Chains A and B, each alone.
Chain A
Amino acid sequence: RKEVEQDPGPFNVPEGATVAFNCTYSNSASQSFFWYRQDCRKEPKLLMSVYSSGNEDGRFTAQLNRASQYISLLIRDSKLSDSATYLCVVLSNTGGFKTIFGAGTRLFVKA
């Protein structure tokens, strides 16, 4: 079983739609959680950190369920520029800090 699992998609949505991505992680000792965005042939960049209480940044909302070891990302009012791969990221400190990436979920937003 992979340490971080995501639905690879692709998700094809029209502009203005709301789309949600899910992610599960296997290490219950994981400490920190993030969503990164990766554009085609570019490096990953931080989209947002994920906090236990849930957090929002504009059109983006991230939530964490530690009991179920589940992370989600909600994008409201999708824009063409949101088209990218969204990577779920988990940091575990089990003797060393190890930041593990999921395989990513591909999003295409169409006009």
Chain B
Amino acid sequence: DTGVSQDPRHKITKRGQNVTFRCDPISEHNRLYWYRQTLGQGPEFLTYFQNEAQLEKSRLLSDRFSAERPKGSFSTLEIQRTEQGDSAMYLCASSPTTNSGANVLTFGAGSRLTVL
């Protein structure tokens, strides 16, 4: 296993279009997180899954954002009707829930979104 994979790495889209990002976590990790990061800020929590269940969703996440993890493995984050303010790096992370690595997040390289 090579770590957390995210695709695409870069996405440029026009305002109003829909975009979808995919995250493949480390296979034995059952928690998966999505964060958004803008320049000069720390990662901002969006949502997290334990297996296929979405257990927490940020109040900051508008209805245009939806995330799924249908089989408890990979996850997708969709943004509908993109706005320029959605331009950011979207980071996915996973973590185990047991042993010494519990709650330690391993991040993917991120998907950078630019909305024109």
Whether A97 lies near B43 (C-beta < 8 A) is no
* Pairs A–B under 8 Å by Cβ, sample size 10: A8-B40, A36-B105, A43-B108, A43-B109, A43-B110, A96-B48, A97-B56, A99-B103, A99-B105, A101-B35
The docked-state distance in angstroms from the alpha carbon of A22 to that of B110 is 27
Whether B48 lies near A98 (C-beta < 8 A) is yes
The docked-state distance in angstroms from the alpha carbon of A49 to that of B110 is 23
User: Across the interface, which residues of B come within 8 angstroms of A87, CB to CB?
Assistant: 42-43
User: Across the interface, which residues of A come within 8 angstroms of B104, CB to CB?
Assistant: 34, 46, 49
In the complex, whether B2 has a CB less than 8 A from a CB of chain A is no
Chain A CB count within 10 A is highest, among B91, B105, B107, B110, for B105
User: Across the interface, which residues of A come within 8 angstroms of B91, CB to CB?
Assistant: 43-44
Whether B107 lies near A44 (C-beta < 8 A) is yes
Given contacts A96-B56, A101-B35, contact A45 B107 (CB under 8 A): yes
**Interfacial residues, chain A to chain B (CB-CB below 8 A):** 4, 6, 8, 32, 34, 36, 42-46, 49, 87, 89, 91, 95-104
Instruction: Give the distance to chain A from B16, nearest Cβ to Cβ, in Å.
Output: 28
The docked-state distance in angstroms from the alpha carbon of A24 to that of B112 is 29
B41, closest chain A residue (CB)? A103
The docked-state distance in angstroms from the alpha carbon of A8 to that of B39 is 13
Given contacts A43-B91, A46-B105, A101-B35, contact A96 B42 (CB under 8 A): no
Whether B103 lies near A91 (C-beta < 8 A) is yes
User: Across the interface, which residues of B come within 8 angstroms of A36, CB to CB?
Assistant: 105
In the complex, whether B55 has a CB less than 8 A from a CB of chain A is yes
Whether B103 lies near A32 (C-beta < 8 A) is yes
Given contacts A44-B43, A103-B42, A104-B42, contact A97 B105 (CB under 8 A): no
A45, closest chain B residue (CB)? B107
Whether A43 lies near B107 (C-beta < 8 A) is yes
Given contacts A43-B110, A103-B40, contact A98 B103 (CB under 8 A): no
Given contacts A34-B104, A46-B104, contact A99 B33 (CB under 8 A): yes
User: Across the interface, which residues of A come within 8 angstroms of B106, CB to CB?
Assistant: 46
The 5 A-B pairs of least Cβ separation, nearest first, read A96-B56, A101-B42, A43-B107, A96-B55, A103-B42
